Chains A and B, each alone.
Chain A
């Protein structure tokens, strides 16, 4: 019985750490995306290069976020899971309304230079970055909490 408890505790800790690390990955994706759009605006990158570097990262980001949500569900963190569900729905909506293209991705080089589209993408990048950061601190706190409560 003690063994089961031990394993359970380590599982919980493992989930917390995994969630935190996945969130770091998401943060890096967002930072890279923001940097790319900024370079586009200040003429250091052309739209074709931008799309070629950002499009391959779109699906991996969504997949990582899905894994994160699954882990949260497995670890019974229902409140955090519910907080992540809107983002999941938003990702599904964004992907389903992408322009018709053969590669997997969201950005079309001929439309990404429209000022309104560019502003929308930048706003999305910043908002998601802030969301992921806030969640990260939350997960980190959770990790510490799990370890501290394990020690006690």
Chain B
């Protein structure tokens, strides 16, 4: 079956002839199969090459980058991830690999590790159920049957007793922040989610407000009202009260409720003195001091450039940088390492810092995002809180507050001897050559590792990768989540092309390009994309018989969409050179590229275009949770978009709906509640609730896109063909030529 797969992949075709490559539905990645021993789900763990070359020189001949993508804390159901509650955890004696479905079971009492090939003793109860009870043949044990397994860890795996969940919130209450009105939205969402916050009865919670001084809130349960304590000297920090600033949520519940009710009006923009300064650095520092003995999570809401205290920043970007056709992008790197140092201190104490930036002015995200990058936190960025983004903010905040998270986590990746881990991508701190320190793991982060083949793999027939995530759940249970991926080794160049996983390759290339943009320049990253694509295609031409002489552009089927996606990346907001993209937005796009898991990343790179006017019952697919719609995707090109229809573009961050001029008036009436195209407003932010089947179908489809299990819920914008917002839609039609870039077809011919 392996042969069959590779034969199929080795087919190649001429890219210039085939115009419509995009499969109608997002393709599923595949990991190689080994008979009845199933490899791990590729969405959890996948590799850019499904067959590993024997030597580094063979890999370099193919010019395909080698890396693995990992989604360690994805939310999985019980069938996908069996949890083993008791029993001994079997590990190899020498390399400490966990037992997995790919070990060789020798006779009754011994097993051979598949990473270091050492023979280990099996304990007596290997044939019993994991709880040591009934007789279960060893092949049926969950840890020998499933490649993704979770163990409950015994006390040897704990550095200290599991700590309670600690959540701390720091609010920006400077006058710019109060003008935006975010505080009332946040307090309302928090109040509604207090019961579903991660944690149990030991959860601790605390709040802090900062403008040019720090406002601490004493929430000790004995008090009747929350008490505010103001520290105005931010250069000489001290905590005003030894306790009461971080309290048990259950005991002080009424005080927390009343604080969340009062907070927006306490700092009403008319009443408070005009205080535009923001002391983000001292606020983070004091939050860290409060939380450091337990570890936990700090959530900081920021609305302006930090302008006083430690970590104050200057406005580097001016409006002239935005408008001119800049040769290159400036100010992508951090200005000071205060935030990076703070992140490292936090990481040492198992504290993660998440940042919500709600600012339309320049707030130097390049520097402040370092505090999340290295403490495994996440960053959310909203340019302004208008109607469209308000719903997005609410949904994303709710998911952020209620999603399951893990604390005090470390992630170790073990590979067969001969492979070594080169660079890590993702929000983490690399503590050792194969160990990542993650003070917080959340289900929406993905990590990528670039690999290097240091020794030849000639005498190895299968290479094994195992990732072990050791974490504490919010209920104080220590668990280990193991994913195992096994790939064959090959010494033929053709097999490498046949088994390349183009989705993983594009994801890896985009992360490498972000690194290159930060270390040298965006222009260098763009050249890197082009040279990567050209190298791969040129290397393939060299081995394909008959391709050298012809003018055709031969690509293997397994890499068919590579050029399309790379062309789209060149137009992406993160790497575009023209168009006056604000630096903060660019930094945020780059961060998304770095930390999204692979499937979300692919949608972000190459958005999905759907023909909304064609949505009908035949696209309805019954699933477990109700009806799901699956519309075919179209190429992102104007030739797919016709004036008589309505189209929707989804890139994970925003849904842009475009209504064509000649759209039928039935459609307008049924879906948009207007008699014809001319009466449509320029911009709408939601579909009106009408009783027609088409309206219902469209609203269900949109809701389905907005409630995916991902950190980001796209905002919805509907506009007419001739509105001034139409560039928001046409910017996504990346296959076409624009003023500053060539079309996809032109790229291929060059």
With beta carbons under 8 angstroms apart, the residue of B340, B341, B374, B420 that contacts A115 is B420
Roughly how many angstroms separate A110 CA and B435 CA in the complex, as a whole number?
13
Residues of chain B contacted by A110 (CB below 8 angstroms): 340, 344, 374, 429-430
Neighbour of A47 across the interface among B333, B334, B430, B452, CB < 8 A: B430
Whole-angstrom distance between the Cβ of A105 and the nearest chain B Cβ: 11
Bound Cα distance A114, B433 (Å): 8
Contact with B333, one of A100, A109, A114, A116 (Cβ below 8 angstroms): A100
Least CB separation from A109: chain B residue: B344
Within 8 A of B (CB), among A41-85: 41, 43, 46-48
Q: How far is the CB of B330 from chain A (nearest CB, A)?
A: 14
Q: Quick check: is B337 within 8 A (CB to CB) of the other chain? A: yes
Within residues 94 to 121 of chain A, which ones have a CB less than 8 A from any CB in chain B?
A: 99-102, 108-110, 113-116
Q: Is the CB of A113 within 8 A of B422?
A: no
A75 to B315, CA, bound (A): 51
Q: Which B residues are CB-close (under 8 A) to A102?
A: 336-338, 341
In the complex, A41 Cα to B430 Cα: how many Å? 12
Q: Closest A-chain residue to B434, C-beta based? A: A43
CA distance A43 to B421 in the complex (A): 14
**What is the chain A residue whose CB lies nearest that of B340?**
A110
Chain B residue contacts of A48, Cβ below 8 A:
344, 348
Which residues of chain A (16-52) have a CB below 8 Å from chain B? 41, 43, 46-48
Q: How far is the CA of A100 from the CA of B339 in the complex (A)?
A: 12
| B689-727 with Cβ < 8 A to chain A | none
Cβ contacts under 8 Å, A46 to chain B: 431-432
CB-CB under 8 A from B422, the residues of chain A are: 114-116
Assess whether B232 is interfacial by the CB under 8 Å rule.
no
Most chain A CB neighbours (cut-off 10 Å) among B344, B374, B420, B452: B344
Question: Shortest distance in angstroms between B418's beta carbon and chain A's nearest beta carbon?
Answer: 14
**Chain A min CB distance to B388 (Å):** 36
* 25 pairs from A and B in contact (CB 8 Å cutoff): A43-B432, A43-B435, A47-B430, A47-B431, A48-B344, A99-B337, A100-B336, A101-B337, A102-B341, A109-B344, A109-B429, A110-B340, A110-B344, A110-B429, A113-B424, A113-B430, A113-B432, A113-B433, A114-B422, A114-B423, A115-B420, A115-B421, A115-B422, A115-B423, A115-B452
Interface residues on B, range: 20 to 34
Q: Which residues of B contact A (CB under 8 A)?
A: 333-338, 340-341, 344, 348, 374, 420-424, 429-433, 435, 452
**CA A41 – CA B431 in complex, angstroms?**
11
In order of increasing CB-CB distance, the 4 nearest A-B pairs are A113-B430, A115-B422, A43-B432, A101-B337
Interface size on A, residues (CB 8 A): 16
Report the minimal beta-carbon distance from B426 to chain A, rounded to whole angstroms.
12
> Which B residues are CB-close (under 8 A) to A114?
422-423
Residues of A within 8 A of B (CB): 41, 43, 46-48, 99-102, 108-110, 113-116
Q: In the assembled complex, how far is the CB of residue A71 from the closest CB belonging to chain B, in whole angstroms?
A: 35
Residue of chain A at shortest CB distance from B454: A115
Known: A110-B374, A115-B421. A43 touches B433 (CB 8 A): yes
In the bound complex, residues from chain A placing their C-beta under 8 Å from that of B424 are: 113
A100 to B518, CA, bound (A): 13
Q: Within 8 Å CB of A101, what residues of B?
A: 337
A100 touches B337 (CB 8 A): yes
B589 CB → nearest A CB, Å: 21
Residues of the B chain whose Cβ atoms lie less than 8 Å from the Cβ of A116:
422-423
Q: A41-B433, A47-B430, A115-B452 are in contact. Are A100 and B335 (CB under 8 A)?
A: yes
Docked pose: A35 CA to B341 CA in angstroms: 25
**B423 partner residues in chain A, CB cutoff 8 A:** 114-116
Given contacts A99-B337, A100-B337, A110-B430, 4 further A-B contacts (CB under 8 A): A48-B348, A100-B333, A110-B429, A115-B452
Which residues of the partner chain A approach B429 to less than 8 Å between Cβ atoms? 109-110
Find out whether the CB atom of A100 lies under 8 angstroms from the CB atom of B334. yes
* Nearest opposing residue in chain A for B348, CB measure: A48
CA distance A47 to B424 in the complex (A): 15
A residues in contact with B431, CB < 8 Å: 46-47, 113
Chain A residues near B336 (CB-CB < 8 A): 100, 102
Q: In the complex, how many angstroms separate the beta carbon of A36 from the nearest chain B beta carbon?
A: 14
Q: Given the complex, which residues of A lie within 8 Å of B344, measured CB to CB?
A: 48, 109-110
Q: CA of A48 to CA of B340 in the docked complex: distance in angstroms?
A: 12
Enumerate chain A residues within 8 angstroms of B334, measured Cβ to Cβ: 100
**Which of A43, A47, A108, A113 has the most CB atoms of chain B within a 10 A radius of its CB?**
A113
